[in-house]
Chains A and B, each alone.
Chain A
Amino acid sequence: MNGNDRALSGLNWLGSFAVLCALVALWWIASNTGWVSRVFLPTPQATFASLLEGLNLSGGSGNGELLAFTQATVGRMVEGWLLASLFGVVLGAAIGVSPAVRAWVQPTLEFIRPLPASALLPLAISIFGLNPGMVLFVVAFGAMWPVLLATVHGFAAVEPRLAEVARCLQMSRAAYIWKMGLPNAMPDILAGMRLALTIALIVAVVGEMIASQSGLGQAILLAARAFRASDLFAGIVLLGLIGFASNALLAFAEKRLLRWQQP
């Protein structure tokens, strides 16, 4: 992100990894010596074994259950996120391009923004019933807000002189959106999409927990109810990995897509 990261030399990386290893070692000691009850803190090796077995890496003895759950959750998250990005940008451009529409609609959008996406689950359940489409709808709807609001903001913040140039050139509204509005709103949109991906993962997990759709959310809830702590931790580790990987991918994409902006 800044000079700090680049200054992180090899030695510092090593030290930083050592701290992480020390944390894991602390976990190992705490669970193996029984400082913390193993009912809810499994040993690292048991967690690792659960991971290997669930991901079918332990040489045939595993059932590959976690792998299927991970695919289901990631699929739900990515589908919902893509839908959210598409609708967010289209609706945001439609609202943001016209100051009149903005004046009428934006207060309502600002009111809905702080509403927790998961609060829509009960409503969606009573309308659509308990099915995968319902969860996907809530994921997409919840993740749409940051993209939508960021797009509206990006369009509203277009340099006035650019709008004047567009008028002088007699650009059509579509050409204005495509050539001036969208490139200008791009940094905002990408930041919104990054937030949307985090929300999509959270809502997907909550949706799986409530609506009993197969996925990591349901898997960890069932593991906890059955006191299978190592399976629970394996699920949490996988969810952390999904969050980490998706965030890193998007940060990378953002850097590439916005390269034209840097001097």
Chain B
Amino acid sequence: MTEGRLFRWLRPWVFPAVLVGAFEWYARRAAALGSDALAPPSAAAKAFVGAALDGSLWQATGFTLGTAALGLLIGAVLGIALGLVLGLSRRAAQLGSVSIEVLRPVPSVALIPLAMLAFGFGVRMELAIVAFATFWPLLVLVQSAVQQIEPRLLEVSRVLGLSARERAFKIVLPAIVPRLFVALRLGVAVALVVAVTVEIAANPNGMGYAMMIAQQSFDPALMLAWLGWIGVVGFAVNAGMVLLQHVVARRMGVAP
């Protein structure tokens, strides 16, 4: 019995362990042949400990996560507000549809050069792009969530003579909370990916830039350490959001 559980617990780790082992063997052989493009995972682990001890790891991680969170906050507030309006009013949804369909497909990375011009390097350009990228999914998902609200709830609010603001905060927002968290989970994933991408492409801050600079200074061990760390951070943040979404869904009485 315990053996079966141990086996099931160990099983997910076997495949990555084989991959890392193969990479270690290959990178050592490449290093022996005089290549400095790759480093074995053991060297990456050493570089990771070094970065964690001198604090650069936490500083860059904090910058990326903080900027992603703040950008998501801006994009989400705007997206949810417009989504509420478009979801509640059919006419508004129809009037806005062409503009939204035209603007939404613009890839967020296309705005990197524009944000560079407008804001220079730093927090603000990254915020602007993360906010733009997270605005659209939240807008679309909130709009469809509002459109799927039980119509009787809206009728009740009309009978009670609630003002538009009261209706939004007392009826509509509580009714869409479970779906809102699904949208937010997507938004978090998008925000993190976009933040790292902006740092790799342009912004000289954060985890993406740290990885880029490690590559440019021919420090493959440190670069691999950053790649692994970005993967771990992304996985942890996403797993946390899934957990949060389940908790919220259960609290709000939606089947898990």
Which of A's residues lie within 8 Å of B, judged by CB? 4, 8, 12-13, 15-20, 23, 39-40, 103-105, 107-108, 111-112, 114-123, 125-127, 198, 201-202, 205-206, 209-210, 216-217, 220-221, 223-225, 227, 229, 232-233, 235-236, 239-240, 243-244, 247
Asked if A229 and B117 sit within 8 Å, CB to CB, the answer is yes
Asked if B193 and A116 sit within 8 Å, CB to CB, the answer is yes
Contact of A232 among B97, B117, B212 (CB under 8 A): B117
The residues in B between 149 and 201 inclusive whose CB is less than 8 angstroms from any CB of A are 189, 192-193, 196-197, 200-201
**B contacts with A, residue count (CB < 8 A):** 57
**Min C-beta distance of B185 to chain A, whole Å:** 11
Q: Which residue in chain B gives the minimum CB-CB distance to A243?
A: B105
Q: Which residues of A contact B234 (CB under 8 A)?
A: 114-116
Binary interface profile of B, 1-17, with partner A (CB < 8 Å = 1, else 0)?
00000000001101110
Known A-B contacts A16-B94, A126-B223; the reply to A118 vs B197 at CB < 8 A is yes
Asked if A205 and B118 sit within 8 Å, CB to CB, the answer is no
Asked if B200 and A118 sit within 8 Å, CB to CB, the answer is yes
Which of B's residues lie within 8 Å of A, judged by CB? 11-12, 14-16, 19, 37-38, 90, 93-99, 101-103, 105-114, 116-118, 147, 189, 192-193, 196-197, 200-202, 208, 211-212, 214-215, 218, 220, 223-224, 227, 230-231, 234-235, 237-238
Contact of B106 among A19, A126, A127, A240 (CB under 8 A): A240
Asked if A116 and B196 sit within 8 Å, CB to CB, the answer is yes
**Min C-beta distance of B99 to chain A, whole Å:** 5
The answer for the CA separation of A115 and B200 in the assembled complex, in Å, is 13
Q: Which residues of B contact A114 (CB under 8 A)?
A: 189, 192-193, 231, 234-235, 237-238
Asked if A118 and B224 sit within 8 Å, CB to CB, the answer is no
Asked if B106 and A239 sit within 8 Å, CB to CB, the answer is yes
Contact of A104 among B14, B117, B237 (CB under 8 A): B14
The answer for the CA separation of A140 and B50 in the assembled complex, in Å, is 33
Known A-B contacts A105-B15, A122-B200, A122-B215; the reply to A20 vs B105 at CB < 8 A is no
For A104, A114, A220, which residue has the most chain B Cβ atoms within 10 angstroms? A114
Asked if A244 and B101 sit within 8 Å, CB to CB, the answer is yes
Asked if A12 and B94 sit within 8 Å, CB to CB, the answer is yes
Q: Which residues of A contact B98 (CB under 8 A)?
A: 13, 16-17, 19-20
Asked if B15 and A122 sit within 8 Å, CB to CB, the answer is no
Asked if B201 and A40 sit within 8 Å, CB to CB, the answer is no
The answer for the CA separation of A247 and B38 in the assembled complex, in Å, is 38
Q: Which residues of B contact A247 (CB under 8 A)?
A: 105
Asked if A119 and B227 sit within 8 Å, CB to CB, the answer is yes
